[in-house]
Chains A and B, each alone.
Chain A
Amino acid sequence: GENVEQHPSTLSVQEGDSAVIKCTYSDSASNYFPWYKQELGKGPQLIIDIRSNVGEKKDQRIAVTLNKTAKHFSLHITETQPEDSAVYFCAASNRVGAGRRALTFGSGTRLQVQP
């Protein structure tokens, strides 16, 4: 099955600095790579996603890059703010049944933005 590795497990940055979280995946057929943000006591929320036909996608202060050859993708947050503090999960599509796919998640990165 799919294996998604995520690093680092914790990340502390100063407000205004950039944060980068990296993930690698094993299934070369994976074609969808979302990122989720989870705040304390809540369910994960999608913040950005990228499909395999695109190398980079941006949404304001958030960007995701994908390197299909190397099977890794990264989340970049610029000009971090205290409200960016949360746990972030990467995920990759994985075959789970006859013609079906579901998401396999990384183990998460706890980001803390210091004011």
Chain B
Amino acid sequence: DAGITQSPRHKVTETGTPVTLRCHQTENHRYMYWYRQDPGHGLRLIHYSYGVKDTDKGEVSDGYSVSRSKTEDFLLTLESATSSQTSVYFCAISGAGGLNEKLFFGSGTQLSVL
């Protein structure tokens, strides 16, 4: 998966607990993204980063925060997980051209909030 590692691959947590998902890339790509995938909705953008410490919101950012302190790592945090955040989360990367380059996806993290 183009040098992208997501961790953990699976997580089960309880409502109200904080959760952090990690995306690590070895491609030195500038852009990193977090998407969630739900049946009937395709992939929806949560947050994205266009450089170290440079992040912005996507279309479904409520309840999520992100951080990027190094080029290779992009963290997604659910401050207080809710059942509606049960989903498969995908990290993606693209190069200096941003959108107009190929988007490479990680293998995903299956998150269940009980």
A positions within 8 Å CB-CB of B: 1, 4, 6, 9, 31-32, 34, 36, 41-46, 49, 51, 89, 91, 93, 96-97, 100-108
How far is A103 from B44 in the complex, measured between Cα atoms in Å?
9
For the complex, count residues of B whose C-beta is within 8 A of A: 28
Expressed in whole angstroms, the Cα–Cα distance for A3 and B76 within the complex equals: 25
Contact A102 B105 (CB under 8 A): no
Question: Which of B12-20, B63-71, B95-103 lies at the interface?
Answer: B95-103
B90 within 8 A of A: yes
Distance to closest chain A CB from B10 (angstroms)? 11
In the complex, the number of residue pairs spanning A and B with C-beta atoms less than 8 Å apart equals 69
Chain A residue numbers with a CB within 8 Å of B33 are 102
Nearest chain B residue, comparing its CB with the CB of A106:
B42
17 A-B interface contacts by CB (under 8 A): A4-B42, A42-B107, A43-B90, A44-B90, A89-B43, A93-B100, A96-B56, A96-B59, A100-B99, A101-B98, A102-B33, A102-B48, A102-B58, A103-B99, A104-B45, A104-B59, A105-B42
